Amino acid sequence: MNKKMLEILNEQINKEMYSAHLYLSMSAYLASKNLPGFANYMRVQYQEEMSHALKFFDYLLERGEKAVLAEVAAVKTEWKDPIDVFEDTYKHEKFITESIDEVLEVAHEVKDYATINMLQWYIKEQVEEEAHASSVLEQLKMVEGKGTGLFMLDREMQARVFVD
């Protein structure tokens, strides 16, 4: 595999792991605020991000390459409220979408057609990731992030399960 391609794919593994840590940290914060449903939502999101990292990891293996794991930067541990959490989530997902687009640009540049093909899964996934984050954020804003509305939303979030 082209060196630049391999480097940016390894960087993306790190970003997916960072995303996982960020969401698990959000889960801890939400649990500390007595919002078990939202904490569950973020715990599932953590599992999804680890599966995104592993998909890249396995792809490198399949291509006869070795994944190189780097230090994962420290994540935030406190937020103002659940709206703040989901504003950060939506912002982070948009950043990840841009990042996947950059990986795709490199794949085009070095004419790595297998990687272009593999990345289609992530392109589609990012549309869903942004839509989910934005939808929860809008619902939270509708109930102004408090009261009975927040309680009802928290119960809904309890239903989310991890599907690989």
Residues that bind ligand OFO (CB under 6 A): 16, 19, 49, 52, 93, 96, 129
- The answer to whether residues 96 and 52 touch, using CB atoms and an 8 Å cutoff, is no
Residue 100 or 150: the one with the smaller Cβ distance to ligand OFO is 100
Give residue number: closest CB to ligand OFO: 19
Residue 26 or 150: the one with the smaller Cβ distance to ligand OFO is 26
Cα separation, 101 vs 125, in Å, equals 12
Closest distance of CB 93 from ligand OFO, Å: 5
Cα separation, 127 vs 25, in Å, equals 23
29: enclosing H helix or E strand: helix 3-32
Single out the residue of 57, 125, 56 nearest to residue 93, CA to CA: 125
- The answer to whether residues 10 and 70 touch, using CB atoms and an 8 Å cutoff, is yes
Cα separation, 62 vs 74, in Å, equals 30
Closest distance of CB 51 from ligand OFO, Å: 9
Closest distance of CB 7 from ligand OFO, Å: 18
Residue 119 or 150: the one with the smaller Cβ distance to ligand OFO is 119
Closest distance of CB 95 from ligand OFO, Å: 9
Residue 105 or 144: the one with the smaller Cβ distance to ligand OFO is 105
